[in-house]
Structure formats: structure tokens, C-alpha cells
Structure 1
Amino acid sequence: MTGNQDIFEKLDPNVSSQIILSDGSQRSAKGKGTIGFHTKEGNKKLITDVLSVLNLWHNLLCVGQLIQEDYSVYFDDGRCKIFDKKKNVVIANVEMRNKT
């Protein structure tokens, strides 16, 4: 999920749904599409079925969706690492913020 519509490569604005966040607050999804990002090696990766959610201030990843796409996700030492099992490479290694 993201609140930043500028990062979508493709976006279907006809998809809409209500989202309940872990803190119990609700948001409206006003589209679903594909976003792209580059790994530190410069390779482009795509994430599909990403919801465009109004008033969402942080990008949120669905761990289950990443696992279905054949990635592994590790949380350790205040960091989240996403590992591409097909290419045997870490594609993301980010510090977790706002952990409360």
C-alpha cells in the first residue's frame, strides 16, 4: 500500500475498498496497480497488486504477498531484509522506523 500515486507504473483507478490498519484506523483504497523500484545493484523490480490508499503517510508492504512472489523476508536488529530467492540476492535492507 502506498499513498504516493506518483510511483505507480500502472494504476487501475476503478478498484476501491476500505482498509483497516493495525492501529484500527480506516483508509480508502482508490486504485490498484504496479510499482517499480531499483535494487542497489541497479536492477529493476516490480511489485504488483499495490493499493493506492488515500492519506497513507508511509509505504506498507504485505509480507504474505512478498512470500507468494518467491521472496524471503527477515526482521533482525531493527532492519527488514528482502531476499530474492531466484537470484540469491538481497534486494532491500531497510531500517525499520516508528516501531510502536
Structure 2
Amino acid sequence: MQIGDQDSVKKLWDAIRIRNVGADRVKEARLQTLMSEFDHLRMTESETIDTFAGKLFGIASTSLALGETIEESKLVKKFLKSLLRNFIHIVASLEQVIPSQYDSQDNDVWYLDNAVSNHMTGNRSFFSQLDEGMNGRVKFEDNPCVKIKGKGAILFQGKRGQQRPMKEIYYISDLKNDIISLGQATEVGYDIRMKDNYLTIHDADN
């Protein structure tokens, strides 16, 4: 009805083009507003995880209806970054390390893991102190058990070059990677913090 009274093909086409341009501009403005809402969205103290996840899902659905898909990885990242600090154990456990999944030991990487109860490494040379008289076994989800061949301390270098010891680390020669237990760290007074793309561990001296 809005374009039916045009008396030429050119006028008809111009009317359709102008109408579509206007619709595209409205859609673009709505998407910009929606993305701003997505960027600023944070979980509040009164919200449950289900409620907050529902908000994210609602934004993603609206965005899709407007022709813009929010990638799943972006949604997951936003969800994890926006959770309250008291849910950090959930964040940590979402990416649990299963040791035998890794083919070789990378000396530059320690995995921060909430699924294991103790710090552990398979590299004997890391230890500044090691009690090889301590033994026992550790059980993993995909491996019945592995033998503990000692327990000791390892010096870690801080961001300003200072060295700090982390104690009570198991030496397990069969282990192919190195793990810091977030649970054990918090039990002895370390402060686990999550901000933006980083998860950090702070000792008593911060």
C-alpha cells in the first residue's frame, strides 16, 4: 500500500530502495544497541546462574533474528568472565585436565586445575627441595593410579623476577605434564583471582 501509488517503474524501484535502506539502518541501530548491552552485561548478586545464562541466550537469539550470529566461543567467554567470584570453582572445573591426553611434557606450561587435589609434576629437575622418602599413589579419571615418588618445593619466578617457593608438590615420574591444584592453593592461603582473560594466583605478599 505504501508503494502501490507510484506511476512508473523507476519511482516504484526508488520507493522500495529507500524503504529497504531505512529498514537496514533500523536493524543496524538495533544491533549496535544489542552489542552494547552484551558488552556491559554482568551477573548481579541477586541473579542465579540460570537467570544470567538466560539473559545471554536472549541477546544471542535476538541478534540472530537481526541477521548477526554471536559465536558460541564468544558467548562462553562472556559467561565465564561475567560470573561472580564465588563461582570461580565452577569456572575452573569447566576445563579439567586429564593428564594422559597430552603426549609430551611442556616445560613452559603449568596447568591450573580444580579437578585434582594436589600440585604435581613429572619433572624431577624442577625441585629445589625433594623428599623422595614420601610415596603413595594418585588416581586419575582415565588411569587407575600412578606412583608418587616424592614431595617437595619448587621455586616459581614472579612477574618482577622475584622467586617464590610453592611447597607440597608431588613428584610423579610417569606424569607427562605439570599441574597446580587450585584447591590446594586456596587451602594454604593463596588468593585465586579471575579478571578479563587471566586467572592469577597471589601469595600472602600479593
TM range (shorter): 0.7 to 0.9
Unaligned ranges ≥5, structure 2: 1-119
**Equivalent of 1:31, from 107, 125, 150?**
150
SS in 2 for 1:42: coil
Is 1:40 matched with 2:40?
Answer: no
Alpha-carbon contact 2:192-2:202 (below 8 Å) kept: yes
Report % sequence identity. Answer: 27
Cα RMSD, aligned residues only: 1.9
Of Structure 1 and Structure 2, the greater helix share is in: 2
Of Structure 1 and Structure 2, the greater strand share is in: 1
Match in the other structure for 1:96: none
RCO comparison, higher one (Cα < 8 Å, 6+): 1
**Equivalent of 1:4, from 99, 119, 123?**
123
SS in 1 for 2:184: helix
Whichever of the two has the greater Rg, that structure is 2
Task: Give matches, 1:1-100, under 5 Å.
Answer: 1-21=120-140, 23-25=141-143, 26-74=145-193, 79-84=198-203, 86-88=204-206
Aligned residues: 86
**TM-score, structure 1 normalization:** 0.73
Distance 1:77-1:56 versus aligned 2 partners, 3 A rule: farther
**TM-score, structure 2 normalization:** 0.38
- Displacement over 4 Å in runs of 4+: 75-79
Shift of residue 12 of structure 1? 0.8
